[in-house]
Amino acid sequence: MAFEILILFIVILAVIAAYYILKTGTRFIVNTVLGLIILAVSNIFFNAGIAYTIPALLVCALGGVPGAILVLVLHFFKIAF
């Protein structure tokens, strides 16, 4: 009986942990997609001329919106990208 209660407790903790991980993951995915959209929109509509290189895409993908703004600022001041 104690073994079943222990297993039930572990399963409840795993479900709670999975909920928080997926909740955080969803925010990360939305932020990533928005960052990549900002990069694409700035290239298409504002003719920014930023090349889609691996470093630029990684900064936008991992940094999200702040990463896209960083890429734009660094490109504007001709420091990188």
End-to-end CA distance of the chain: 62
| Chain centroid, CA 11 distance in Å | 29
- Of 20, 78, 24, 28, the closest CA to residue 49 belongs to 78
DSSP for residue 46: S
Amino acid 18: pLDDT: 86
List Cβ<8 Å contacts ≥24 apart for 25-29.
28/64
pLDDT for res 57: 92
Compute the distance between CA of residue 68 and CA of residue 60 in angstroms, rounded to an integer: 5
Q: Please identify every stretch of the chain with a pLDDT value under 50, giving residue numbers as ranges.
A: none
pTM above 0.85, yes or no: no
